Each structure stands twice: as C-alpha cells, then as structure tokens.
Structure 1
Amino acid sequence: MDTIIQAVTTRAKRGPYRRHSDEFKRAAVARTLVAGASVSLIARELKINANQLFSWRKRFAGEVPAGGNAPSQLVAVTVLDTPRAPAPAPAASVPPGVIVLSVGQAQLRLEGQVDAITLALLLARLLP
C-alpha cells in the first residue's frame, strides 16, 4: 500500500475590507488632479491600489475641482462679427533672411536658417 504524505496548506484569511468615506475619496481624487501629480505615488502614500484611485476618479469626475475651488461652470460667450484691423506691415529695416510674424500682441522674429519642422510647430501654435 502506497501512502503519499503532503502538507495540507490553507490560505490565510483575508482581512476585512477597508471602507473609505466619500470625503476621503474626493480628497484623494483632488490630490491626483494637481498638475504633475502621480496617481500611483499618491495611491502608495494612501496605502490603496492605484486602480482603485483611478476608479474613484471616474466616479467623481466633474465633482472634484482641480484647484480645490468650486466646480468649473460654463460661461456664456457672445461672438461679435467685427472686421479685423489689417496687420501692420513689417518694418522696412528688416534685413534679408529674417522672418517677422505679428499675431495680435505676439511677435515672432526668426533670423538665419530656420528648421521647417520647428517653424511649422510655431505657426500651428500661433495661428488660429
């Protein structure tokens, strides 16, 4: 008769679930909305799983303001059709090989050889 003896292993019982108040959850979510904040680092500090914190962010989306102020609200905007003033002509003293672009209060002056990709990125940012 063969007998196989193996140790009987049982899993350790899991502790009770932690229950967090809505105030704690909103405060945790507010910390993640600050510019440059890392959700995983904040979750580690609070001793919670980062996935749990991400689910709280979805749950409380729109409720928790990013700056700790009142929630953002839409503001009424009226667009008036007004003629634009002509752009001022570049100064006559601009030497050849110089690009001067004026948009509103901003002025961009490029001298020398300009990289086409960089120029395209700048124009995309400045022009509507």
Structure 2
Amino acid sequence: MDTIIQSVTTRAKRGPYRRHSDEFKRAAVARTQVDGASVSLIARELKINTNQLFSWRKRFGDEALAGGNAPSQLVAVTVLDTLPASAPVASVPPGVIVLSVGPAQLRLEGQVDATTLTLLLARLLP
C-alpha cells in the first residue's frame, strides 16, 4: 500500500479593499486624457488594476474632458423638424456648423469651443 504525503497549504487571505477618494479618481482619469498616455502604464504607476481605471474613466471621463468640476457652457441650438428644400447645405454662411443626423439637424453659429463641440459630437454620433 502506497501512502502519499503532501503538505497542505492555504492561500493567504487578501488584504482589505483600498478606498480611493473621488479626487484621486478624477486625477487618475485626467492623466489618461493626455495625448499619448497609456492607461495600463498609469494604472501600474498608481498600483491599481487597469480595469478599475477604465471603470473610473467611464464614470468621471466627461468631467475630466470638461475640466473637472467646471460648470457646463450652454450653446445656442435650433432644432428643425425637417430641412427645408430651399436651403441647401452649400448656402450655409461662414461661421455656421450644420450637422444632420437622420431627421434631426444641429446648427451651431458663431465661435464654438472645441471641447464643447467634441462633447456634443460624442453624444450625438453613434
């Protein structure tokens, strides 16, 4: 009769969950918004899981693009039910942006902030 003796090992218990403040999360997300930034490298530097940082980007990403807790800026928008046949897009005066998505039309007049335009397009376009 053979007897196999194996040592019994138990896994060490996991430590307590780390809790990060919203300021820390926003700062981490802001670092990922810089051109050429690597989310995985930033996560490694901060000693957090990359998936956690991506989760924070979903939660705080729009705030970081808008400049943290900065108040939103309003943009004058006119919504038309249909595009009149007598107003071709080529006749739009300079300084006006007309975006047609399906039956909806977005018309931006005057000088438009690039950040605001980026957020609008991200929300409107699939």
Q: Aligned residue for 2:4?
A: 4
Q: Distance between the aligned counterparts of 2:43 and 2:11, measured in 1?
A: 26
The higher-RCO structure (CA 8 Å, 6+ apart) is 2
Q: Distance between the aligned counterparts of 2:71 and 2:58, measured in 1?
A: 15
Q: Which has the larger radius of gyration?
A: 1
Q: Aligned residue for 2:55?
A: 55
In structure 2, relative to structure 1, the CA distance for the partners of 1:66 and 1:76 (3 Å cut) is closer
- How many residues of Structure 1 are paired with residues of Structure 2 in the alignment? 83
Higher helix proportion, which one?
2
Q: For residues 41-52 of structure 1, what are the structure 2 equivalents within 5 Å?
A: 41-52=41-52
Where structure 2 has 5 or more consecutive residues not aligned to the other structure, the ranges are: 79-86, 95-126
- Return the TM-score normalized by structure 2: 0.53
Give the Å deviation of 1:44. 1.0
Aligned residue type for 2:35: A
Aligned residue type for 2:25: K
RMSD: 2.9
Q: Distance between the aligned counterparts of 1:72 and 1:34, measured in 2?
A: 21
Q: Aligned residue for 2:29?
A: 29
- Return the TM-score normalized by structure 1: 0.52
Q: Give the match's secondary structure for 1:76.
A: coil
Aligned residue type for 1:39: V
Give the Å deviation of 1:76. 2.0
Q: Distance between the aligned counterparts of 2:19 and 2:93, measured in 1?
A: 60
Indicate conservation of the 8 Å contact 1:65/1:71, yes or no: no
* Identical counterparts, % of pairs: 86
Indicate conservation of the 8 Å contact 1:44/1:50, yes or no: yes
In structure 2, relative to structure 1, the CA distance for the partners of 1:69 and 1:20 (3 Å cut) is closer
